[in-house]
Structure 1
Amino acid sequence: MTDQRDVHVVRWPSRTASTGGGPAPLLTAYHLRTEAEKGAPVADAAELPDRYRAEISDPGSAFADDVVLLALGEDTAMGCVVVTAPADGRAEIKRLWTDPAFRGRGVASALLDAALAHAADRGAETIRLSVWAWRTGAIALYERLGFHITESWDARERLVCMERAV
């Protein structure tokens, strides 16, 4: 059984570790699940909005200014997160996703710990994120890690904005 001690977080692309299929399969699952939860399910990635298909087809370009972190168990990519470059002392966490087969094993916590450390190393003073209101488990995890709900910077309905000091 995998637990957080067996989870290794690496920056993608990694020259030191095999990252399986990289972030593309994880980003695909993230976007398909999100669209379904929003009430707009699509059959496959080809039906996703252009901006999401761009992330899946070429994550290196889509996140060129950001850092993509992968959680690995041996050579299996179990989860991912994107951390934006700090601007005005603030970085943002995006696309946190754990493959459902690996949930409950500390993958998301390991990714968030690595994201926070990366943001601090890059000089961020604050890190923020947005999460859909129905993702109560994710919100509870963020709150346990010291995030608090803040005024929204995004007008999308049912989106919860959170932040914390790094």
Structure 2
Amino acid sequence: MITRLWGAVEWMTEVLLILCIAAMTVMCSAQVAWRYLLNDPLVWSEEAARYLFVWVTYLSAWLAWKHRAHIAVDLVHYVGNPRLERLSARVVEAIVLAFCLYTFVTNFGLLRLTMRQSSATLGLPMVWVYAGYSVMAFMIAGDILVRWITGRRPPPDPVEEVQPS
């Protein structure tokens, strides 16, 4: 049950990431077209694309964590001891989980401060821009907890799967 529920949350987050990238691409393209073809720049598209880029960055950080694609020091991996590798992975996950939970909670102070602050051009409440961090921290923490509860392991490293020919 928890795996299916979390799978739906992950799917919705991936769809949101795709929509943010598509919208950002359309806005940047429209900005260029309006500026150079119509000689009339769109005043709102740069700000909107910037805020979408913030969300894309945070959601991509979660996606990289999900696939364990972040830059890492693989010293323990090269020792060749599977038990030590599992222990090391759990320690890293525990540190990342603690950091995500701490920053998720403390970010609420920033969100409270920005509830009434509006963006310069769009008038968008800035809380929506800064909420991207909380979504990322929630998704990474959720990934770790769901994997611990269900016993699922991260996907294998794609570099390891390639066999030398």
TM-score bracket, shorter-length normalisation: under 0.3
Taking structure 1 as the reference length, the TM-score comes to 0.24
Greater length-normalized contact order (CA 8 Å, ≥ 6 residues apart): 2
Structure (1 or 2) with the greater helix fraction: 2
Structure (1 or 2) with the greater strand fraction: 1
For the pair shown, the structure with the greater C-alpha radius of gyration is 2
